[in-house]
Amino acid sequence: MGYSAFRIIREGLTGNKGWRPVWRTPEPKSRYDVVIIGGGGHGLTTAYYLAKNHGITNVAVLEKGYLGGGNVGRNTTIVRANYLLPGNSEFYSHSLKLWEGMEQELNYNTMMSQRSVLNLAHSDGQVDAFARRGNQMLLQGDDAELLDAGGVRAHAPFLNHDNQRFPIRGGLLHRRGGTARHDAVAWGYARGADRMGVDLIQNCEVTGFQITDGRVTGVETTRGSIAAGKVGMAVAGRTSQVGEMAGLRLPIESHVLQAFVSEGLKPCIPGVVTFGMGHFYISQSDKGGLVFGGDLDFYNSYAARGNLPMVEHVMEAGMSMVPMIGQAKLLRSWGGIMDMTMDGSPIIDRTPVDGLFLNGGWCYGGFKATPASGWCFAHLIATGEPHEVAAKFRLDRFATGHLLDEEGTGARPNRH
């Protein structure tokens, strides 16, 4: 049964006894047509679109912990389509369109809120770069507005407009960007996939691959062997570890990224604001908490927790641009594991092992990619061909040097 206002009222009046678990808890079968490793946002959307777009329903999602317990439930929930380079631009544009229809499609309240994303510019060169980026966004069919200093002041009066070191010269406003409730996105796609017959199997860690004559035939798990026609990896921060089990040495490093939330406040921040020069970004959740984050912790790690020097660094960056946050109490902080590629762009591709497909390298930005990532990964797994909006997310670009270097970090590690 679907969710509706009528149903909420009826359940409220009858003691809320009619609600049922949102997905089944099946035992793993001995064989599936497709096994997806990882029950995060990307794994769940892939399973959903395999069933919905391609009619492939004999699918299992294997999750070592609980659904949505990874980065999909740990991020700062920013959704946007403000990329510059062909390859990224059309992909994130497609993703934003899927976000806009997600709640209707899933019959699930993901609290998608297009409350805007504002990138601050602090030099004339940065204003020029934002003008170029904004033009590319418009050419892609998305929205962009270049604000001058007065426009930024009117939009976000609470910023430190008199900062001597980082004077605000303007900003790039993307009104269709915003935030969504991250774990509701995982739950909504999980429910949708389950309803079409996908088995969502929790507490089931993949510990190895069965590979015969260069072709994957199944996986080893903590709940036994499972045969598979095809296998898709969507394990985010664990991409290099899981890839190694199949003999893949991937151009990915795992790093910790922390996030923070304050006590609940009355509405005071209109949308997302990013302060790239100090590496700080902030928004306000529907409950009123200020949600913010900053840099990576800058050491390789698979531990989903951060360190205190980075806490101090993020607070300093925040205080320099949004001094009013100093009045708020910090409620909690947490960390997630980012799978960083050397050029800052992701991978959705085949691997050298037949039948084994890779979805990873989402760096800081995989939440907003969630629907399109699943859409395109499902297309690749089902048809064997890359989807047109993800055609540049190739694994071999790191060997050929045809990088998709959105951030200008280059091909070297430790410069993300």
CB of 39 to ligand FAD, least distance (A): 5
Pick the closer one to ligand FAD by CB: 171 or 293.
293
Residues in 95-134 that interact with ligand FAD by CB under 6 A? none
Reference 107, options 36, 32, 191; nearest CA is 191
- Part of the chain binding ligand FAD (CB under 6 A), chosen from 57-65, 195-203, 309-317, 377-385: 57-65
Work out which of 41, 87, 218, 361 binds ligand FAD, going by CB under 6 A: 41
- Asked if residue 314 binds ligand FAD (CB under 6 A), the reply is no
Residues in 356-395 that interact with ligand FAD by CB under 6 A? 362, 364-368
Pick the closer one to ligand FAD by CB: 70 or 87.
70
CB of 138 to ligand FAD, least distance (A): 21
Residues in 137-176 that interact with ligand FAD by CB under 6 A? none
Pick the closer one to ligand FAD by CB: 67 or 325.
67
String marking each residue 254-293 x if it binds ligand FAD according to CB under 6 A: ---xxx---------------------------------x
Residues in 21-40 that interact with ligand FAD by CB under 6 A? 37-40
- Part of the chain binding ligand FAD (CB under 6 A), chosen from 72-80, 151-159, 319-327, 376-384: 72-80
CB of 364 to ligand FAD, least distance (A): 5
CB of 236 to ligand FAD, least distance (A): 3
HEC string of the chain equals: CCCCHHHHHHHHHCCCCCCCCCCCCCCCCCEEEEEEECCCHHHHHHHHHHHHHHCCCCEEEECCCCCCCCHHHCCCCEECCCCCCCCCHHHHHHHHHHHHHHHHHHCCCCCCECCCEEEEECCHHHHHHHHHHHHHHHHCCCCCEEEEHHHHHHHCCCCCCCCCCCCCCEEEEECCCEECCHHHHHHHHHHHHHHCCCEEECCCCEEEEEEECCEEEEEEECCEEEEEEEEEECCHHHHHHHHHHCCCCCCEEEEEEEEEEEEECCCCCCCEEEECCCCEEEEECCCCEEEEEEEEEEEECCCCCCCHHHHHHHHHHHHHHCHHHHHCCEEEEEEEEEEEECCCCCEEEECCCECEEEEECCHHHCCCCHHHHHHHHHHHHHHCCCCHHHCCCCCCHHHHCCCCCCCCCCCCCCCC
CB of 305 to ligand FAD, least distance (A): 11
Work out which of 34, 60, 63, 82 binds ligand FAD, going by CB under 6 A: 63
Pick the closer one to ligand FAD by CB: 159 or 233.
233
Size of site (CB under 6 A) for ligand FAD: 40
Residues at the interface with ligand FAD (CB under 6 A): 37-43, 62-65, 69-72, 74-78, 205-206, 234-238, 242, 257-259, 293, 336, 338, 362, 364-368
